[in-house]
Chain A
């Protein structure tokens, strides 16, 4: 809990140390290390088959690592006294008996964990499944199953959440809701680890990003740091003059598609350079897909190197 006087931002709640998993001759996870801190949403990103799910399953004691270990609150998951109260996990949207109602599914977990069964109803309400509580999971859409998985994760009101592709199958409103929900949890000091292969989902909510491909960590950095270094697209009537002015201001400039692609300076500096050079700007756009750019570059390089 957060009751003690330590600054919880400095505590690594999730600590993954050199996790490795070999299936036959395939190294599905190859020395993965990273940490996740309270108050932050950590995005665990990678293309399909990168080893994300296997890593999460090793963290939760479901898959035995070939080597390495993962600690949550300083202990391995299997050594936690009351795991459901410390860690909430939503792994995939298929873990339901189709003949069982949503409420019963959660009540089973409550009973086994020694939680009051009213927590099942509360979690259903939080995740917007109250109306569907007594329906069999058989008739649930993928989005509803995702919500039920999330309801299960929050049953014990844990301070650590580990979610595997929670946005899969959610409609735009659901994704928006999920994002707000995760943001809220991080803001009240929870540690949230979210895996995804869809960057757009994570880009808007993550504080910190760990990118994996082929079982290895490629980048582990604050989101802001990764997105920085994106380019500005600048249209102008006087490209040569502006280019010279920008380079004097310390920018790196290339010319392509009748535009200047500028990095190393911000929009204001571009405006100033244009003013000094007497250049007319026709366009000034910050490239939003910074993370996607980084992600593609990194994973492509990795794939190329391996192939």
Chain B
């Protein structure tokens, strides 16, 4: 098992795909953060665009930007499995380890860890920008208050779990482009619409779970506008999605012919 995880590490290290996904994840987080920094407490049309940095909600929103790129962890997972089908390297993997369940188990563990690691880097980058910005603007610089540990820790966990969801989705669909389009369509359209139109349903979706963990509404309004699960509930929901898609990945990849 350790050998197979080492092989996955070598696979991901030996092409440049991971750099792109990490760049996008960090880039999205910082882009959102810069937006918040620019607008927090600034008056527009006679009222504040966003609450000032002294408001705990704003502090939370600053750090919650770290989770802005969870989609890219999903894509990381998707590419992690569909790339093998696309290039035919899945044949090598299953020839070396004909017990396919082991290959998939190693992949799931590895991509969960990759997601966590990328999440950690994204969180560190976010903190590195948010902290000085808060200090300059007179906000709280404590990393222990305002649910900050929960938000940052939850983001790291969410990144890992989203990679698992991506693996499951990729194993199910197998076509890389189709799987990525489904992921983007889901996150950008389906979840976005359901979250606004049917928040009582939206809170049970992965995005709702991330919102619960990062203590944000996901929109620009304040807390409490949308139905949102408690943080532990969001964590459980997200873990549930990760496990369900892990099982999907296992079952689909283990049974199908590789032709």
> B191-229 toward A: CB 8 Å interface, digit per residue (1/0)?
000000000000000000000000000000000000000
Check B89 against A95 for contact (C-beta < 8 Å). yes
Cα–Cα, bound, A105→B10 (Å): 9
Ranked nearest first, the 5 interchain pairs of A and B with the lowest CB-CB distance are: A95-B88, A104-B14, A112-B7, A99-B15, A78-B98
In B88-109, the 8 Å CB interface with A consists of 88-89, 91-99
Q: Is the interface of B mostly helix, strand, loop or mixed?
A: helix
| Docked complex Cα distance between A64 and B258 (Å) | 9
A152–B97 Cα distance when bound, in Å, is 14
A-B contact number at CB 8 A: 87
**CB under 8 Å from chain A, chain B span 1-52:** 3-4, 6-7, 10-11, 14-17
Q: Which residues of B contact A (CB under 8 A)?
A: 3-4, 6-7, 10-11, 14-17, 83, 87-89, 91-99, 257-259
Specify which chain B residues have a CB less than 8 angstroms from the CB of A114 in the assembled complex. 3
Tell me if B92 and A108 are in contact (CB < 8 A). yes
Q: Are B10 and A107 in contact (CB under 8 A)?
A: yes
**A271: interface (CB < 8 Å):** no
| Interface of chain A residues 63 through 95 with chain B (CB within 8 A) | 63-64, 77-78, 80, 83-84, 89, 91-92, 94-95
* Alpha-carbon gap, A237 to B28, bound state (A): 90
Q: Are B95 and A84 in contact (CB under 8 A)?
A: yes
Verify B7–A60 contact, CB threshold 8 A: no
Known: A62-B258, A96-B88. A108 touches B10 (CB 8 A): yes
Q: Evaluate whether A98 and B14 lie within 8 angstroms (CB atoms) in the complex, with A57-B258, A62-B94, A62-B95 already known.
A: no
In the complex, are the beta carbons of B91 and A95 less than 8 A apart?
Answer: yes
B residues near A77, Cβ cutoff 8 Å: 98
CA distance A99 to B19 in the complex (A): 13
Listed by A's residue number, 8 A-B pairs whose Cβ atoms lie within 8 Å are A54-B259, A62-B95, A78-B98, A92-B88, A99-B16, A108-B14, A112-B96, A113-B3
Within 8 A of B (CB), among A85-132: 89, 91-92, 94-101, 104-105, 107-109, 111-114
Given A96-B87, A108-B7, A113 and B96 touching (CB < 8 A)?
yes
- Tell me the minimal C-beta distance from B104 to chain A in angstroms: 13
Query: Closest CB of chain A to B78's CB: distance in Å?
Result: 15
Q: Is the CB of B96 within 8 A of A109?
A: yes
With both chains docked as a complex, state the minimum distance between the C-beta of A49 and any C-beta of chain B, in angstroms. Answer: 13
A61 at interface (Cβ–Cβ under 8 A)? yes
If A100-B14, A109-B96, A111-B7 touch, does A57 touch B89 (CB 8 Å cutoff)? Answer: no
For residue B96, which residues in chain A have a CB less than 8 angstroms away from its CB? 83-84, 109, 112-113
A82–B46 Cα distance when bound, in Å, is: 73
Among B6, B10, B95, the one with the most A-chain Cβ atoms within 10 Å of its Cβ is B95
- With contact pairs A108-B11, A111-B3, A112-B4 given, residues A61 and B91 touching in the complex (Cβ less than 8 Å): no
- Are A98 and B87 closer than 8 Å at their CB atoms? yes
Select from chain A the residue with minimum beta-carbon distance to B257.
Answer: A63
Smallest CB gap from B106: residue in A: A112
Q: B14 and A112: CB pair below 8 A?
A: no
Q: Which one of A77, A95, A98 has the greatest number of beta carbons of chain B within 10 Å?
A: A95
Asked whether B92 lies within 8 Å of A83 as measured between CB atoms, the reply is: no
Known: A62-B94, A83-B95, A96-B88. A57 touches B15 (CB 8 A): no
Inter-chain CA distance A63–B91, complex, in Å, is: 11
- Nearest residue, chain B, Cβ from A54: B259
Q: Which residues of A have CB within 8 Å of B83?
A: 97
* Chain A residues within an 8 Å CB radius of B91: 62, 91-92, 95
Complex-state Cα separation, A95 to B90, whole angstroms: 8
Besides the known contacts A62-B95, A64-B257, A105-B92, 6 further A-B residue pairs in the complex with CB atoms under 8 A apart: A57-B257, A83-B98, A97-B14, A100-B11, A108-B92, A112-B7
Question: Measured between alpha carbons, how far is A112 from B98 in the docked complex, in Å?
Answer: 11
Cβ of A261 to closest chain B Cβ, rounded Å: 44
B87 to chain A, nearest CB (A): 5
A94/B87 contact (C-beta < 8 A), A54-B259, A63-B257 known:
yes
Contact residues in B for A96 (Cβ distance below 8 Å): 87-89
Taken together as a complex, chains A and B put the C-alpha atoms of A54 and B87 apart, in Å, by: 18
The reply to whether A57 and B259 contact each other, CB–CB distance below 8 Å, is: yes
With both beta carbons as reference points, the residue of chain A lying nearest to B88 in the complex is identified as A95
Which of B14, B16, B257 lies in contact with A62, CB distance below 8 A? Answer: B257
